[in-house]
Structures are given as structure tokens and as C-alpha cells.
Chains A and B, each alone.
Chain A
Amino acid sequence: TQLLEQSPQFLSIQEGENLTVYCNSSSVFSSLQWYRQEPGEGPVLLVTVVTGGEVKKLKRLTFQFGDARKDSSLHITAAQPGDTGLYLCAGGTGNQFYFGTGTSLTVIP
């Protein structure tokens, strides 16, 4: 089993603040995905990164894949209450996708 550790586990911030979530592993992945999940629903894909050092931007969200393809970060600028949810990273290798431990984000209006 390949473990991806996310930090922090819980994060509560005020609307308008910036935040960064980290996803770290000792394993190398061919791709890395970030998902957002609402309670009682399946995760929804936000982005996939495949190249070491790759940076992708999705509106206020910036995703980075580490040079060695072992870690990734998600940065949210000017967080909004709609950003509240569980953020999950997932590493892909072969036919398997391994998920991180999750970061529960609460944005307070």
C-alpha cells in the first residue's frame, strides 16, 4: 500500500484568507489528482498533474506537482465559503489510484 499523507488534516479559516494544503509520499507516481468531496457524495476531480514541476491554475486554485513526482500542493487564494469541503489527493501508478488522508477545509463567512 502506498501512503499519501496530507497536511493539515483540518483547516478552518476566514473568508478571504489564503491557504495551502500539502500531499506528500515516499513513492513516485505517474500522475497525481486533486479531488473535492461533499458529505455523502463521491469525490469530484479538480485537476490532474502528470509532469514533475508542473503547475496548473484553476481560477483561485493553484496546483503544483513536485519535481520528483512524490508530492503536491494545492493553494487557494481568497477562500470563499463555497470552497468548504474535504480535499483529497490521489496518486496514480499502473492500474491503481491511492488516496491521501484528506484535508477538511471550513471557510467561515
Chain B
Amino acid sequence: SQTIHQWPATLVQPVGSPLSLECTVEGTSNPNLYWYRQAAGRGLQLLFYSVGIGQISSEVPQNLSASRPQDRQFILSSKKLLLSDSGFYLCACEGEKLFFGSGTQLSVL
């Protein structure tokens, strides 16, 4: 069965600092991978999705970037965080259904 590992669970970063969130997947090969962001109590906004190594599609222009250096690794990054980057970030993997990681609560202060 598929398992998604996402870390860290919480992160507090100052404005202007870099960001790296990592997501790894077990139990599947060549999965479609996704990064979503969620405001409190609201729906999920699709940020990036990847259908394979090195293949990244961006849904919205923003301060963030994504990379997929390995088949089961998906990384969300920023060179300089903005206050508006705060939110709950979720990594997801598509198998028979969409599996989600446990999320990272990012606070930019």
C-alpha cells in the first residue's frame, strides 16, 4: 500500500528566508505527485503537479518552485518567503485514489 512521508509537520520561518519541504512516497512507482496549499478551513489550491522525474507543471504564478529529483521524491522550495506564503501545505500521490501526506503548517513571520 502507498505511504506518503511529509516533513516537517510545523515550520516557523522569517520573511525572506528560504524554504524546503520534502515529500517521499513508498509502495508505488512512477506516481503522479502534487503539492497543494490550504488556507484555514478552506479548500486546497493546486500549486504543482508532476508526472515524472524532472517534469513539473505549475498551476499558479507564485514565489514557490517544485522539483522532482527522484521518482518518489517531490520538493517544494522558495528562495525568499513572503508573509502570504503562510498556510497548510499538503503533498499528494495519485494511485487508485489521491493519497495525502500529513501536511506541513508553515507560518511566515
Using a CB–CB cutoff of 8 Å, the interface residues on chain A facing chain B are 1, 4, 6, 33, 40-45, 48, 86, 88, 90, 95-102, 104
Contacts and interface: CB of A to CB of B under 8 A. Distances in A.
B27 interface: no
Main secondary structure of the interface of B (DSSP, over half): strand
Contacts, number: 56
Contact of A90 (B41, B88, B98): B98
Given A97-B98, A99-B36, 9 more contacts: A1-B46, A4-B43, A42-B100, A43-B100, A96-B46, A96-B49, A96-B59, A101-B43, A104-B41
Given A95-B32, A96-B49, A42 B43 contact: no
A48 B96 CA distance: 10
Contacts of B59: 1, 96
A105 B49 CA distance: 29
